[in-house]
Amino acid sequence: MSPSRISLFSAGSNAKGQLAQGTVDDSHCFLRCMFDGDVGDPLSNGIKSLSLAFGANHTLMLLRDIQDENTLWVCGDGRKGQIGEEHRARTAPLTAFRRLDLMRPPGYEYSCIAACWETSFISLSHPDKNDILLSLGADDYGDRGVGGLRASASLASFSSVSFDHLMEEDDESDSIQICDIKAGTHHVLVKLSCRCRNGSRRTFFAGWGASRHGQLGRSTIESFTSTPITISIPEALDVVSFAVGNHHSVFVYSPGQIMTLGSDRKNQTQGLSSIQDAHSVGATWNGTYVLRIPRSEKWRIYATGSNSKGQLASPPSDAAARDVTFQEESAAEEVVCGSEHVLVRLKRMDLKSVGEVWSWGWNEHGNLGLGHVEDVHEPTRIWPTEDFTNVSHEILGIWAGFGTTWIAIACDLTS
C-alpha cells in the first residue's frame, strides 16, 4: 500500500467548537480538524478505523490505530459532563480534539460510541466478560439510561447502563455483547447479543429515553423511560440496519423489508412497509432515507418525511415521498443522515475517481460545505472540493451530525 496522509474535515454548526477547527465560528467550507495537547495528530500515525458520534454541541471520536489500540477523543461543549468530568467546569468550549481516558476495568477496551443531545455513550468490550455501556452527561428524558439521576447524584462523571434485568432464563451470565448503538435527540436503541445455554446466541434490542410517540414500541405509551426495556422486534437477528429520528425508529430486515416504530406526523414512515429491496436505512429528525438496491434496476434512495428545507431532494412546495436517483453510472457506498440533511457516498463507474460525496437539505450553518448557507433542494456534489479534485485520495468515511458534515480521507503521498 502506498504511504498516505489521513485527514478529517468538517463543516457546519460550531457554536461550542464541536467542529474541532480551533474556533467557535460556523464553517461554511470544509476545514481540517485540529488536535489539542502534546500528542500531535493521531491520524498522522495511521489508523485502522475511525468512527464519530455527535450531540447538539459536542463530538466523540473513536480511533483504532495500527497497533490495534482504541483511543477516545472529544471536543465541543462539556458543561453537562458529556465529554468527561474534567471539562464540566471549563469556561470555554474545547475547540480541538483532546484524548479522553476513562477509568476502565482491566482487560476492557473502547468498542462503540453514540450521543444524544447532551449525553454520550461509550461501550467497553472484553473477550470473556459482559460488555459495559457507560453514559455521560445530561439525563433529560432519562437519556442516561440509569433510572433517573437524583440531584445529589447528577454530578456523577459517568454511569453504567445495566441490561441484567433483560436477560432470560436460558441466557448465560457474562455473555452480553453490544453489537451497535443508535441515538436520536432523546432516545437510544441498542442491538444486543447474549449466549444461550445450548450454545446458540440470542439477539435482541433494548431502548430507553423519550417514548411518548411510540418510538420505543411500548404498548402503554409513556413520556419517557429511564431504564432499558426490551423492544419487541420479531426476528431481531435478521435486522441488518436500523436508525433513529426525533420521534421514530426504523429497522431493515434481510432480505429487504422494513419495520417502523413511532410517529408518522411528518410522513416519516410513509410508504416504508411496501419496500422489499431495502439495503440500509438512515433517519433525519423528521425523515427516513432507504438505500434501495433492486436486483434488476439501478440503485436509488427512497426519501419520505419533512421537506421544509428540501430534505426530500425537491423544493419545499413538493412534499411527496420519492425515489432520489443519480444520472451518472455509479455505485452507492454509503448513505448517512444528519439532523435535516443527507449525505451519499458514491463511486462513479465511468471514472477512475476513488469516490464522491453528494448532499442536499438544510444548510443554515453551511453544513454542506458549499461556501453558502442556502438550503439545497437537489443532490449536489460536495466532495471532492476544488482543492482535492486533482489530488489522488481515498474517502475513508462520511458522517453527519446536528448541522455538521464530516469527511475522512487518505491522500496518496506518492502522487
Residue with cell 415521498: 321
Please determine, for residue 327, whether its predicted confidence score (pLDDT) is greater than 80. no
What is the per-residue pLDDT across 388-399, written as a single tens digit (0 to 9) for each?
Answer: 988 889 999 999
Residue 219 pLDDT: 61
Q: For a pLDDT cut of 90, what percent of the chain falls above it? A: 82
Residues across the chain = 415
Q: Give the residue-averaged pLDDT of 171-196.
A: 95
* Cα 163 from Cα 137, distance rounded (Å): 20
Q: Are 252 and 233 in contact (CB under 8 A)?
A: no
Output DSSP code: residue 165.
G
Residue 236 pLDDT: 84
Overall CATH class of domain 235-383: mainly beta
Residue 383 pLDDT: 97
Please determine, for residue 221, whether its predicted confidence score (pLDDT) is greater than 80. no
DSSP codes, 43-90: GGG-EEEEEEEE-SSEEEEEEEETTS-EEEEEEE--TTSTT-GGGTT-
Q: Give the residue-averaged pLDDT of 202-212.
A: 96
Q: Give the residue-averaged pLDDT of 135-143.
A: 96
* Cα 412 from Cα 415, distance rounded (Å): 6
- The H-or-E segment that residue 232 falls in is none
Residue with cell 436460558: 170
Please determine, for residue 151, whether its predicted confidence score (pLDDT) is greater than 50. no
Confidence of residue 220 (pLDDT cuts 50, 70, 90): low
What is the per-residue pLDDT across 336-380, written as a single tens digit (0 to 9) for each?
Answer: 999 999 999 998 876 666 799 999 999 999 999 999 999 999 999
Strand, coil or helix: what is 238? helix
Q: Residue ranges of the alpha helices (H) in 136-238? A: none
Residue 401 CA to its chain's centroid (Å) = 7
Residue 150 pLDDT: 56
Average pLDDT, the chain: 93
Paired residues of 280 in beta bridges: 291
Q: In this predicted structure, which of 38-52, 188-202, 343-357, 377-391 has the lowest mean pLDDT?
A: 343-357
Residue 390 pLDDT: 87
* Cα 175 from Cα 195, distance rounded (Å): 5
Residue 295 pLDDT: 85
The HSE-up count of residue 311 (CA atoms within 13 Å, CB side) is 28
Q: Which of 284, 277, 267 is nearest to 321 (CA)?
A: 267
* Cα 329 from Cα 310, distance rounded (Å): 24
Confidence of residue 296 (pLDDT cuts 50, 70, 90): confident
Q: Which amino acid is at 47?
A: I
pTM across the whole model? 0.95
What is the per-residue pLDDT across 94-114, written as a single tens digit (0 to 9) for each?
Answer: 999 999 999 999 999 999 999
Q: For a pLDDT cut of 70, what percent of the chain falls above it? A: 95
* Cα 19 from Cα 402, distance rounded (Å): 11
- Distances from the Cα of 402 to the Cα of 11, 56, 303, angstroms: 11, 6, 19
Strand, coil or helix: what is 37? coil
Q: Which of 43, 25, 45 is nearest to 33 (CA)?
A: 43
Please determine, for residue 189, whether its predicted confidence score (pLDDT) is greater than 90. yes
Residue 212's region, left for phi above 0, alpha for psi from -120 to 50, else beta, is alpha
Residue 328 pLDDT: 74
Strand, coil or helix: what is 295? coil
What is the per-residue pLDDT across 400-410, written as a single tens digit (0 to 9) for each?
Answer: 999 999 999 99
Residue 414 pLDDT: 67
Residue 368 pLDDT: 99
Please determine, for residue 153, whether its predicted confidence score (pLDDT) is greater than 80. no
In degrees rounded to 5, what are phi and psi of residue 168?
Answer: -100, 170
Domain boundaries, the chain: 102-232, 235-383
Bigger pLDDT: 57 vs 353: 57
* Cα 377 from Cα 396, distance rounded (Å): 26
Q: Which of 236, 240, 233 is nearest to 255 (CA)?
A: 240
